[in-house]
Chain A
Amino acid sequence: DAGITQSPRHKVTETGTPVTLRCHQTENHRYMYWYRQDPGHGLRLIHYSYGVKDTDKGEVSDGYSVSRSKTEDFLLTLESATSSQTSVYFCATGTSGGAIETQYFGPGTRLLVL
């Protein structure tokens, strides 16, 4: 299994506060992804990165920003959290991008916005 950790694993915050989730990998994978998982929707892509400082938007990027200053770290920031951003957030990595790659997922972060 790819060494992917997410921190924090659980977080409760209040509406309007900034929140940053961290994904750390030890596999030197070039691609990294942030997904959110909600009941009835499966996983939906928020943002992804195809290299240091190279990022792009996914299906549900509004209200989120990302940064990748090092290969091993991919940060997801909610600038001003809203209740609709209550979700489970998954980070994933991939070696090559594109459909042929295998994505490896982290354990998830459960975020509750009150």
Chain B
Amino acid sequence: AQTVTQSQPEMSVQEAETVTLSCTYDTSESDYYLFWYKQPPSRQMILVIRQEAYKQQNATENRFSVNFQKAAKSFSLKISDSQLGDAAMYFCAYRSASPNNNDMRFGAGTRLTVKP
């Protein structure tokens, strides 16, 4: 079964600085998708960014970008110019590209604190 590991339970960053959250995963599949979700104190889960495994180019969404290393099974999230509103739990998630597999596997999460 696929597993997702986030080795940093907590991280902090100074406002306007850059922070990188780590994620590794284990799979024997070659085609899959990876996600980063944000969960603010409101508990609503919000999709931040998505990466398709067969695309070598790293995904970018405004201040959020990923470093996808397929061979190393690593998928880190970089947040640039951190803002107070970025404070939240961040979850890395894996989903098989198989059309019959609707199970998304989440990591345990990283709590990000942004200091003013």
Contact = CB atoms under 8 A, between A and B. Distances in A.
Contacts of B32: 99
Interface stretch (B55-63, B67-75, B100-108): B100-108
B30 interface: no
B95 A99 contact: yes
Contacts of B105: 59
B44 interface: yes
Interface string A41-61: 111110010100000101100
Interface size class of A (residues with CB under 8 A): 20 to 34
Given A90-B45, A98-B97, A44 B106 contact: yes
B45 A92 contact: yes
Contacts of B4: 42
Interface of A: 31, 33, 39-45, 48, 50, 56, 58-59, 88, 90, 92, 97-100, 102-103, 105-108
